[in-house]
Amino acid sequence: MSTYYAGDYDVAVIGAGHAGCEAALAAARLGMKTVIFSISLEAVANMPCNPHIGGSSKGHLVREIDALGGEMAKNIDKTMIQIKMLNTSKGPAVHSLRAQADRKRYQMEMKHTLEKQENLDLKQAEIVDIKLENNKINSIETDVGAIYNVKTLIVATGTYLKGKIFIGDYSKESGPDGVFPSNKLSDSLKNLGINLVRFKTGTPARINKKSIDFSKMEIQKGDKNIIPFSFEDKMKDFEQVDCYLTYTTSETHKIIRENLHRSPLFAGVIEGTGPRYCPSIEDKVVRFADKERHQVFVEPIGLDTDEMYIQGMSSSLPEDVQIAMYRTLPGLEHCEFTRSAYAIEYDCIDPADLKLSLEYKAIDGLFFAGQTNGTSGYEEAACQGLIAGINASQKIKGKEPLILDRTEAYIGVLIDDIVTKGTNEPYRMMTSRAEYRLLLRQDNADLRLTEKGHEIGLISDERYEKFLEKKRKIEEEKSRLEKTIVKPTKEVNEFLKEHGTAELTTGSKLSEILKRTEISYASLETIDKDRPKLPEQVREEVEIQVKYDGYIKLQEAQVEKFKKMEKKLIPDNINYDEINGICLEARQKLKKHKPHSIGQASRISGVSPADISVLLVYLQTKR
């Protein structure tokens, strides 16, 4: 096939899913001449699985993306059809926004954002080959022979690499939603010496709304108090759609058990490893045999369609079995499928082969982001895309990469986890993975990361000034509460008595009264006559910081210890073979992962505290 020269670019992005979109926008906004490729422009920012953004821990990621100057938060604010704050009965560390999206509008808005962006070209093409020069990214080639010279490349191919769909004993090569897979690129990556592994994920059926009896289900409404994802957005009230909750039954489980032999997952036809925390319904029934029922959420996928998404019923069983088992659920007795559930198997890389910047260790200028790194979820993909886009740009500019550590962001936890430990299954972000989650709340993502976003160049001066003003107001109000003394007057004690807390016998700071479990910042206004009028975001932050002050200081002390270990750097040219006293497994792992610090080395599976002690002594003698 003949080829032709198609142009020069600073940054090229393969794949326009949630990772690719963030990567391309970040690079273009940082002044890089950027091109992004999608096998189909109809698949840009597609939601092939659940039609929502956010959720437990994922909402934190979206807020962090926004604080750094990414797009996901703004896009879901434009296109949400329901919004809820999750985990409100628990502490603020695990509060997390979750929004139901209008799937098509989400796609169209993001695609249009890409099209309008300066320095960015969006193209429909399949990339089939990657060329190097002196072990550095040099060019890429499309299926029609167009060759683009590129300085850096970001691979964000999601589940398209040699994608294969399974429905019972039926299978075909395909990406999500029947879009063509990317087959030749896998071979090109292998030819570059890149190790590929096989993972799988899946999605449930979609059902026509008119065939559902919602009277047999529990209504799940959105919140009356609408809170946006983006720190910049001010949300107006809108008419929210309802979601619904139903459950599997003993009959559902019976049908599944009787047909396990027809499942490609249990028959061994599917080679890939599936996600532990988002299993298929047949996997759940087998693994949790003691459970009498499982939750199933019925969710609209948009305002201009009657298709409903059946969350919790992902499956690779044959279509006839799927229909039979779905119809055993209350409200779905007469359901009609619009799309069957399916499992999809795909190639991805071993993320342990990446640097913390998401650049491939062995090839200069090659970055990976999203599900191709072995993760799952739109939010996990988007945050990696943003970091890869920033760091590809930083590399071209000759600047240090942006690396967030575990104390700064959930993004830092995610990247450190997959790069330091690798993953033998699709990785999903969870609040339990973050050791310092009281410091990494969704409400303070802007306080943690806006400074970095501005320094890099993705946060405008105007937004930065507003951020500094918010920060100033928070500190001023905390200081005022600390300095203001209230006396044990009749009015004050009546207030305390009404709220079920001990009366005062002597003067007390307002900050100390606010620390009481029974007292909220809003209720404190009764005895706080000189309170300034403050924005909701400021009031929320003040209350959390004052109420949890003791716990926050305790965690900050732990962070100091962590940072000391992270500051003990390991030279790139270290020879682990000359260090006596390190066990064989640890030596092999350290040589493979090439940790940049003692802290990172200590988190590698197979490296013991004793090995770390030996390594510390060795480094000390070398210094």
CATH code, domain carrying 613: 1.10.150.570
User: Would you state the pLDDT for residue 366?
Assistant: 98
Domain count, the chain: 3
User: Would you state the pLDDT for residue 278?
Assistant: 72
Residue 375 clears pLDDT 70, i.e. is over it: yes
Shared domain for 516 and 578, answered yes or no, is no
Residue, of 140 and 236, whose pLDDT is higher: 140
Shared domain for 572 and 550, answered yes or no, is no
215 belongs to a structural domain = yes
Shared domain for 327 and 224, answered yes or no, is yes
CATH code, domain carrying 533: 1.10.10.1800
| Structural domain ending residue among the three candidates 299, 325, 345 | 345
Shared domain for 278 and 328, answered yes or no, is yes
User: Would you state the pLDDT for residue 62?
Assistant: 98
Q: How much of the chain, in percent, has pLDDT values that exceed 70?
A: 99
Query: What global pTM score does this model have?
Result: 0.94
Shared domain for 264 and 338, answered yes or no, is yes
User: Would you state the pLDDT for residue 553?
Assistant: 94
Shared domain for 331 and 283, answered yes or no, is yes
* Amino acid letter, residue 538: V
Q: Quick one: pLDDT band at residue 609, thresholds 50, 70, 90?
A: confident
User: Would you state the pLDDT for residue 277?
Assistant: 62
Q: How far apart are CA 448 and CA 404, in angstroms?
A: 11
284 belongs to a structural domain = yes
- 47-51, 285-289, 298-302: least confident range: 285-289
- Residue 106 and residue 75 in contact, taking contact as beta carbons nearer than 8 Å: yes
Residue 272 clears pLDDT 80, i.e. is over it: no
298 belongs to a structural domain = yes
Q: Quick one: pLDDT band at residue 267, thresholds 50, 70, 90?
A: low
Shared domain for 214 and 341, answered yes or no, is yes
500-524: pLDDT as tens digits: 999 999 999 999 999 999 999 999 9
Shared domain for 510 and 583, answered yes or no, is no
298-343: pLDDT as tens digits: 999 999 999 999 999 999 999 999 999 999 999 999 999 999 999 9
Angle (nearest 5°) at CA 523 between 522 and 524: 90
Between the CA of residue 22 and those of 41, 82, 109, 156, what are the distances in Å? 16, 23, 13, 10
Between the CA of residue 178 and those of 175, 279, 304, 482, what are the distances in Å? 6, 21, 21, 60
331 belongs to a structural domain = yes
Q: How far apart are CA 138 and CA 189, in angstroms?
A: 14
Angle (nearest 5°) at CA 477 between 473 and 481: 175
* Amino acid letter, residue 421: K
> Which residues constitute the domain of residue 605?
568-622
423-468: pLDDT as tens digits: 888 999 999 999 999 999 999 999 999 999 999 999 999 999 999 9
pLDDT, averaged across the chain = 95
Residue 18 clears pLDDT 90, i.e. is over it: yes
| Structural domain ending residue among the three candidates 345, 371, 392 | 345
Q: How far apart are CA 551 and CA 318, in angstroms?
A: 52
| Structural domain ending residue among the three candidates 345, 372, 388 | 345
3-state helix, strand, coil in the chain (%, to 5): 40, 20, 40
